[in-house]
Amino acid sequence: ADLVLDSLHEMIYWLNTERREVLRMTYLGMNKQTIFASPDIPTKLGLFEHSVYWMVEGRTTTRRQHLGTYGNVWQCAVSGPSAWRCDVLKIHPRNTLSAPATFTIMQESLQEQGTSECVGQCSHLCVHAQSGIVCLCADGTKVPPGQLCEDSPMLTHPNFSTKVVQNSDGSSFIWTVFKVLMITFVFLPIVIVIVFLLRNDILSYFHSCISVTRKPVLPNIHFNNPAYGVAPSHVETVFHHSRLNPGEHQYENPITADNVLDGTVNNITNETIEVAKKQKVIEFHVSDFDDDSGSLEYSEAVGESHRTPLIK
């Protein structure tokens, strides 16, 4: 918001940009009132004779409309025969792509006449205090009005020197050697190790190992195939298959003459097997085979059941 003073009538004028209003009140803060409502956002405020002036900020959609509203100045009279009458002043030039952003009104009658107490009193800086004026020197010291500040040695030009000053005990040399050793044997190896780890992706592997979501390690299972890498001609020598000629196989016929009664097949139970074990020799003759097809002799030898094929 902008603010101006009317010293002739002892009034204060100011803007409220949020509510788009022009307000005024007395120097004592009395008779506050809104005197005008601005059609656009007011930005700058001025006062000349019996009128107040304020510039508006146009909010339009096109550039041409923007130039037609932005930078316009509203003039509204606050006293006299034309009080509360407003006019629009277009102060920006035509056919241009620019618009004014501010304005100033100079009126000599509104400038208060007075004398300055600081004229010729201080050599450096003069400030107003509750008890009067105070003179400040360049180094911050205060002096009475009319007294000159003394030149301070602190304000002399600095003297820069490139000469290295070495202590008598040689501590500067020792400190330099210490820094060189630290860089060579501490920082340089660390940099080399970091570069090596980044180059070989070891940091990524380490991160995956310590990750909470890593997979459980499964046991390794190895298979030994004796035929892997062996030529087909040597496969037989590797496995050594035992081949039996026809007629040399061992058979066991579950259907015998003893468990076939009246055309039905009786199941052989454990009791039947126990009875058969008590007999030394049991011969089974199967009528479905020829006499020359074969017969099975079931004998017990050395405490174990042994089947001997008798095939002719």
**Domain assignment present for 85:** yes
Domain boundary among 78, 109, 140: 109
Q: Which amino acid is at 38?
A: S
Compute the mean pLDDT over every residue in the chain, rounded to the nearest whole number.
69
User: What is the structure's pLDDT at 158?
Assistant: 53
| pLDDT tier for residue 26 given thresholds of 50, 70 and 90 | very high
| pLDDT tier for residue 25 given thresholds of 50, 70 and 90 | very high
Pick from 54-68, 69-83, 92-106, 256-270 the range whose average pLDDT is largest: 69-83
Residues 24 and 92 in one domain: yes
**Domain assignment present for 14:** yes
Residues 18 and 105 in one domain: yes
280 lies in which domain range?
260-310
The count of domains in the chain is 3
Residues 139 and 98 in one domain: no
Residues 90 and 137 in one domain: no
**Domain assignment present for 212:** no
Q: What is the CATH number of the domain that holds 70?
A: 2.120.10.30
Q: Is the pLDDT of residue 292 over 50?
A: no
| pLDDT tier for residue 150 given thresholds of 50, 70 and 90 | confident
What is the rounded average pLDDT of the residues 142-146? 87
226 touches 218 (CB < 8 A): no
**Domain assignment present for 255:** no
Domain boundary among 109, 140, 169: 109
Provide, rounded to the nearest whole percent, the portion of the chain with pLDDT above 90: 3
Residues 46 and 104 in one domain: yes
Residues 15 and 93 in one domain: yes
**Domain assignment present for 134:** yes
Q: Is the pLDDT of residue 277 over 80?
A: no
**Domain assignment present for 164:** no
- Spatial distance between the Cα atoms of 16 and 85, rounded to a whole number of angstroms: 20
Lookup result for tokens 């126990």: 274
**Domain assignment present for 87:** yes
**Domain assignment present for 251:** no
Task: Count the residues in the chain.
Answer: 312
Residues 26 and 98 in one domain: yes
Residues 47 and 10 in one domain: yes
